[in-house]
Amino acid sequence: MKEKMDVLQGTLALMILKTLDVLGPLHGYGIARRIEQISGDLLSVNQGTLYPVLLKLEQEGSIASEWGASENNRRARFYRLTRDGRKQLHAETRDWKQTSAIIARFFAVKSEDFS
């Protein structure tokens, strides 16, 4: 249970970073919408889980936040990527690609390949 949560949090963090990288500063709802659009199921419920992850990233210095005006002209917290965050995103993207390439190769293997 706990482990699954960590995995989810890890992926969520990466998605947040990537979203902010592509779209620039966004408020929480905006990030949630964007992730929902792209990932489908993953964030269609429990959107609130986003906020602890945002705080974690902020405390780690990967993102920063400030108050701004939302679409309907109300106060909203806007998050943006920091320089550290961009570095982290690059590093993790590379790791992620490596990992998925390895996993993909494993799945591609058939038993006759060993004979």
Partner 1 sequence: MRIAKRFLARLRNLLTRHQDDQRLKEEIAEHVTLQTSENLRAGLAPAEARRQALLKFGAVESITEDYRSERRFLFFDTLLQDARFALRVLAKSPGFTAVAILTLALGIGANTAIFSMAFSFLVRPLSIPNSDRVVAVSAVSPANFLDLKNQSKSFSALAAYRQEDVDLTGGRLPERLYGSRVSAGFFAVTNTNPQLGRTFLPEEDEPGRGRVAVLSYGLWKRRFSGDASVLGRTMDLNGRRCTIVGVMPGDFDFPAPTDLWMPLAMDTQDRADRKNASLNVVGLLKPHISLVRARAEIFAIGTRLSAAYPQPDKDLTIRVIPIVDSVEGSITRGYSILLLVAVGIVLLIACSNIANLQLARSVARQQEFAVRAALGASRWAIARLLLVENVLMAVLGGVASLGVASWSMSSIGSSMPADIARLIPGWYEIRLDGRALVYTLAIALVSGLLAGLMPALAVSRSAPGESLKEGGRTGRGPSRQRFRSALVVAQIVVALVLIVAASLIVSGFRRLAQVQERYSPKQLLIMAVNLPTSRYVTPADRVRFYDQALGRLRSIPGVTHAETFYTIPLSNNGTHWTNFAIEGRVPPSSQHQYPGAILQQISPGYLQTLSIPLVEGRAFVEADRGSSRPVAIVSQNLAGSYWPGANPIGRHIRVGGPDSSQPWLTVVGFTGNVLYDWTDQVPELAIYIPYTQSPPTETLLAVRSSGPAADFVTPARGAIAAIDPDLPVFGVMPLSQAIYESIVGLSIVGDMMAALGLLALVIALVGVHGVMAYSVAERTHEFGLRMALGAQRRDVLWLVSRRGASLTAIAIAIGFPLAIALARLLQGLIFGTSPMDLGLFVAIAALTIAVIAASCYIPARRALKVDPIVALRYE
Binding site for partner 1 (CB under 8 A): 27-29, 32-33, 44-49, 51-52, 55-56, 59-62, 70-72, 74-77, 84, 88
Alpha-carbon dihedral sign for residues 3, 88, 54, 22: negative
Radius of gyration of the chain from Cα atoms?
17
Q: How far is the CB of 43 from partner 1 (least distance, A)?
A: 9
Q: How far is the CB of 47 from partner 1 (least distance, A)?
A: 5
**Cβ contacts of residue 11 below 8 Å, gap of 6+?**
42
**Minimum CB distance to partner 1 smaller for 24 or for 61:** 61
